[in-house]
Structure 1
Amino acid sequence: MGKNITVLGAGAWGTAFGQVLADAGNTVTMWAKEQQIVEGIRDHHHNAVRLPSVEKLPDNMTATGDRAEAVKNADIVVVAIAAQFARVALVEFKGLIPDHAIVVSLMKGIERGTNKRMDEVVRESLDLPADRFAAISGPNLSKEIADRHPAATVVACTNLDNATKVAEACTTSYFKPFVTTDVIGLEMCGSLKNVTALAVGMARGAGYGENTAAMIETRGLAELTALGVAAGADPKTFFGLAGVGDLIATCGSSLSRNYTFGANLGKGLTVEEATKVSNGVAEGVPTTDAVVALGDQLDVPTPLAYQMSRVLNEGISCSEMLAGLFGHEVTGE
């Protein structure tokens, strides 16, 4: 039997995932602040602002701008808000979400200022126990999923039964979720790969080829794995869908906002210029400095994140970024 599921945030990924949930037989309510988006989904089953490629969203999707109305009957509440605004937005929902509901994060990022993962931000904001929090991450480019292309993802929760409940709620003929208890690993994969995607995109935009891209991706994977393990993650997570899988998709597609943002930097645009032409939030931009700070906190070197931080804050070129990745001494891989 289908569940009542609320999605907080009607951006491209939130809306695409709402469609997955509706296709899986659930009753889906989208919450958004923008009245135009609410009316579009509720009255016309169309999100012309954030996901115009889908001409008609399923009939079992609706929308509201009222927080209490959005979550009052929810069995599952999915959070799809820009990572750096999650804490402020979620505080408004504290006390409104039913005590039995599982809260699921689609967000990927490290909070600036606190260096906290999204599982920590969500649980603190809502005063939520660990067994009622789940995260979803994987190679999930929103437009392809909106077009119902075959895809897979990973659902993480410390309570495997609750992870399975969430996975069952989003299983369709084209969308296959797997489950894990490694919340930390999943969160770290989803956040840190965005920094790597910025760097790969920048290299591509600057005209570099496959060798350079492969170098950045593999060294980025090593960096994010080391950070994750230091934070308590299972290293195997980084070599599955949430790690390597997401890295491949995010670092190889113009549909990735982080890749595209980096490519624009590589072509010579400033951070301000690249931001203006971006369609949506490139989470890797605010996450980069947080990753460097997290590396300092965990005593893990983060040369790629550090060099991308210099790109974003000092305006160094792609060639300077790449030159700074490695020291002069020969080391083991």
Structure 2
Amino acid sequence: MKKIAVLGAGSWGTVLANLLFENGNAVTLWTRNPKQVAEINQQHTNQHYLPKFQLNAKLPATSDLTKALTAAEVVLFVVPTNATRSVAKQTVKALADLHIKPLIVHASKGLEQQTHKRLSRVLAEEIPVQLRQAIVVLSGPSHAEDVAAGDITSLTAASADLKTAEVIQQLFMNDYFRVYTNPDVVGVEMGAALKNVIAIGAGALHGLGYGDNTKAALMTRGLAEISRLGAAFGANPLTFIGLSGVGDLIVTCTSVHSRNWRAGNQLGQGQTLKTVLQNMGMVVEGVATTKAAYELAQQKEVEMPITTAIYHVLYQQKDIRTEIANLMRREGKMELA
């Protein structure tokens, strides 16, 4: 049993906190929203994010970060990408005051806006080594709603320190949740972030009425783009045919649980991006990641035509059907080039 602080009570943070608690750990769930704390502690629900999920009645929530971190051996960040750095800064003060040095884990999927940095790098920059152990990334094909229902799920724990990844592996494993280890942190984080871009495209195709052939083409060629950009940053290409690559791409591009897919679906039906984001009620990580991926591809001179087309739609208000036509009319290419 370990003492674990889970930072972030969205759908994924809530489900992971509950899973870790039911695995026999002492878990505290932190959120900055006092009303959410009251609901979790009194009704044992989180209706905004998981309307049909009943949490373990003994799982505590708090809006006091120091209280959540007290005696923590593991700190799990599950906050939106654009909040990771600010929450890490707050965490540093509490860790120093508490004189603890926990293992750091994050389960968010995205690249930091403006800097385009992977989240393990953000955490490493903000939390000095004297206040933490190794950093582990938990990622893979996983909708919170399915995990809440006890559906069989497999993820990857990635760290340069495989011994630490194995610790996290054992913390999460149970009859329906299986975790593999991987030393390729770059590949796991890039796959987790970039699949959200392709998922917006998959949703848009559905909204436009395209069929299975089209979706399969998008996912396959989208994976090729993800692999090219990831490899340009030093990722192992084999990682992208694993859980955090093709696995996460499949689940995110084919399910109504994916907010990136839902956003794309609404765009395909003719809604504006502003309207889509206003109606979603939750962060759509793929929108910001599209800009990051486009700019990183330009920087590394990596060809990413699908990502470029999605960027044109989101940020330059280009017509979706025109972008699809432009993709199809490109010069013929060799598939494995």
Q: Same fold (TM over 0.5)?
A: yes
| Residue 107 (str. 1) matches residue 108 (str. 2) | yes
Give a deviation string over 1:265-315, Cα, whole Å, max 9, x none: 000000011112214111001110001111122221221121111111122
Aligned length: 331
**Alpha-carbon distance, 1:49 to partner:** 2.6
Cα distance 1:90–1:131, how it changes in 2: closer, same or farther (>3 A)? closer
Q: Over aligned residues, Cα RMSD in angstroms?
A: 1.5
C-alpha distance in structure 1 between counterparts of 2:214 and 2:183, whole Å: 34
Cα offsets for 1:141-180 (capped at 9, x unmatched): 1111111111110000111111011111111111001111
Write the distance in 2 (CA, Å) between the matches of 1:328 and 1:148.
44
8 Å CA contact 2:101, 2:133 repeated in 1:
no
1:55-85 deviations in Å (ceiling 9; x for gaps): 2x12441111111111121111110111022
Equivalent residue runs for 1:1-333 within 5 Å: 2-55=1-54, 57-97=55-95, 99-128=100-129, 132-326=134-328, 328-333=330-335
Is the Cα contact below 8 Å between 2:72 and 2:100 reproduced in 1? no
SS of the equivalent of 2:306 reads helix
Q: Which amino acid aligns with 1:161?
A: K
Q: Distance in 1 between matches of 2:216 and 2:283?
A: 25
1:47 partner letter: N
* Structure 1 range deviating more: 87-96 or 136-145: 87-96
- Say which is worse superposed, 208-217 or 35-44, in terms of deviation: 35-44
Deviation at 1:45, TM superposition (A): 2.0
Secondary structure of the residue that 1:61 maps to in structure 2?
Answer: coil
Distance 2:233 2:252 in 1: 23
What is the distance in 2 between the residues matched to 1:116 and 1:46? 34
Q: Which whole-Å deviations, capped at 9, do the CAs of 1:20-43 have from their partners, x for residues lacking one?
A: 111211111010011111112223
CA distance in 2, matches of 1:99, 1:28: 16
Q: SS at the partner of 2:181?
A: strand
- CA displacement, residues 193-227 of structure 1 (integer Å, 9 cap, x when unaligned): 00000001001111011111111111110000011
Q: TM-score, normalised by structure 1?
A: 0.96
- 5+ long unaligned stretches in structure 1: none
| Structure 2 Cα separation of the partners of residues 190 and 17 of structure 1 | 17
Q: CA deviation at 1:326?
A: 5.0
Letter in 2 for 1:134: V
